[in-house]
Amino acid sequence: MRPPDGEPGAPDTLASVRLRAQNRIVTGALLLLLLLVVAGALWSAPPARAEEPLRLAASSQPLGMATDHARGRYWVLDKSSGRLTLTAIKPDGTVEGTMNSRDNLTNAQALAFDSGEAYVGDIGGKRAQVTVYQVTEPWPGTEILKAIAYPLTYPDGSHDAAAILVDGSHRISVVTKGPNPGIYQAVPTPSRDTPSPLTRVANAPDGVTDAVVLQDGRLVLRTATTIYALDATSYATLGQADIGVTERGQSITESITAGQVLTAAGPSGVVTSLAVPGPAPATPQNPATRSANPQTQATTDPAENRTFAQTGTTTSVAIAAGLAAVAGLVVVLRRR
């Protein structure tokens, strides 16, 4: 008696041959699907970050530093010829490129970054009116025609300043130095056409050279020798710590690693990493961030200058399309 097709001893038939061929194809497709999943996970993963603190060029004397947490890079404002120029630096100190603007600056002293927007404080020198420039989505290797300029006026005469603060709602504050130093806050939506008034909201330590708003909302101010952590609402001092080294630049920014700040730059360009002094808030104080409006005009396509990490979305979409195609093939073959 002839055994049924597919059982041991049964002769091969066209149906059984086709069944085995389909099984091989399905198995191969599933293996390919698995390989694509693994490759997609590896390709989309952010690049490993080097241990901090980082090292800047030995000649660097940064006026300001700021952190782009979303893309894992630092921006540095250096002394320049009067043009708005920012340098993008990886966590290991590798220079990614520069971003240039055609704006002429009088005395730029400070840099802040929040939710895709960089802010450059042209605030140095004793004067009654200062300007903060906003650059939306700065990219290494690009030039913008013109940044958005916000003219701001002090309510009590002329001041010298070297630090700005920009919180999660993109509200700007200027920290003055010299006689009667203080923190002056701008209106929530300053005008680009006419000067907007600043309001004094708190006293500041003497000799502040830079400041930063942490992701949890705390404010950190620095002088040549000391950092101070302040509450974002009351401006009360939460803690202070000595920097411990003599630095050429006198800037500060939040580290990509939470709970740390970076000050720059010491001997040979070494950046000092310090724990934020004082208690952290139980809940973040920083208001919810708003979406950035693309108001600056780039003369170079930003996509040409994006890093590996920034092109991950396109790669993920391509991998997803491949997975869908393989899955469809498996379904068709199993139905035949």
pLDDT the model gives residue 28:
65
pLDDT the model gives residue 55:
82
Burial class (CB in 10 A: 0-12, 13-18, 19+), 146: middle
Q: Say if 51 falls within a structural domain.
A: no
> What confidence tier does 53 reach under pLDDT thresholds 50, 70, 90?
low
Tens-digit pLDDT profile for residues 201-247: 999 999 999 999 999 999 999 999 999 999 999 999 999 999 998 88
Most confident of 91-95, 299-303, 323-327: 91-95
pLDDT the model gives residue 296:
43
Percent of the chain having pLDDT more than 90? Answer: 53
Q: Say if 57 falls within a structural domain.
A: no
The domain total for the chain is 2
pLDDT the model gives residue 306:
33
Q: Say if 141 falls within a structural domain.
A: yes
Residue, of 50 and 27, whose pLDDT is higher = 27
Q: Say if 84 falls within a structural domain.
A: yes
Instruction: Annotate 7-30 with b (16+ C-beta within 10 A) or e (fewer).
Output: eeeeeeeeeeeeeeeeeeeeeebe
Residue 148 shares a structural domain with residue 24: no
The residue-averaged pLDDT of 293-304 equals: 41
Residue 289 shares a structural domain with residue 321: no
Residue 246 shares a structural domain with residue 98: yes
Percent of the chain having pLDDT more than 70? Answer: 68
Which residues is 304 bridged to in the sheet?
A: none
Tens-digit pLDDT profile for residues 164-175: 999 999 999 999
Q: Say if 261 falls within a structural domain.
A: yes
Residue 215 shares a structural domain with residue 316: no
Q: Report how far apart, in Å, the C-alpha atoms of 143 and of each of 97, 146, 302 are.
A: 11, 9, 10
Residue, of 248 and 131, whose pLDDT is higher = 131
Question: What is the CATH classification number for the domain harbouring 223?
Answer: 2.120.10
Residue 293 shares a structural domain with residue 328: no
Structural domain of 92: 62-305
pLDDT the model gives residue 318:
46
How far apart are the C-alpha atoms of 200 and 277, rounded to whole Å? Answer: 25
pLDDT the model gives residue 303:
39
Residue 281 shares a structural domain with residue 320: no
Query: Which of the residue ranges 131-135, 144-148, 263-267, 315-319 would you say has the lowest mean pLDDT?
Result: 315-319
Average pLDDT, the chain: 79
Residue, of 212 and 3, whose pLDDT is higher = 212
Residue 233 shares a structural domain with residue 124: yes
Q: Which residues contact 192 (CB under 8 A, 6 or more apart)?
A: 148, 149, 150
How far apart are the C-alpha atoms of 136 and 55, rounded to whole Å? Answer: 27
Q: Which residues contact 189 (CB under 8 A, 6 or more apart)?
A: none
Residue 331 shares a structural domain with residue 274: no
Residue 248 shares a structural domain with residue 274: yes
In this predicted structure, the answer to whether residue 294 has a pLDDT above a threshold of 60 is: no
Residue, of 131 and 280, whose pLDDT is higher = 131
Tens-digit pLDDT profile for residues 100-155: 888 889 999 999 999 999 999 999 999 999 999 999 989 999 988 889 999 999 99
* Residue in 296, 288, 333, 331 with CA at minimum distance from that of residue 100: 296
Q: Say if 52 falls within a structural domain.
A: no
In this predicted structure, the answer to whether residue 195 has a pLDDT above a threshold of 60 is: yes
How far apart are the C-alpha atoms of 216 and 168, rounded to whole Å? Answer: 10
Q: Say if 27 falls within a structural domain.
A: yes
Angle at 284 between CA 278 and CA 172, to 5 degrees: 90
pLDDT the model gives residue 297:
41
Residue 251 shares a structural domain with residue 320: no
pLDDT the model gives residue 43:
41
Rounded to two decimals, what is the model's pTM? 0.71
Burial class (CB in 10 A: 0-12, 13-18, 19+), 215: middle
The residue-averaged pLDDT of 255-282 equals: 88
Query: Which of the residue ranges 49-63, 160-174, 219-233, 256-270 would you say has the lowest mean pLDDT?
Result: 49-63
The residue-averaged pLDDT of 85-111 equals: 92
Q: Say if 220 falls within a structural domain.
A: yes
pLDDT the model gives residue 326:
47
Residue 223 shares a structural domain with residue 317: no
Residue 120 shares a structural domain with residue 254: yes
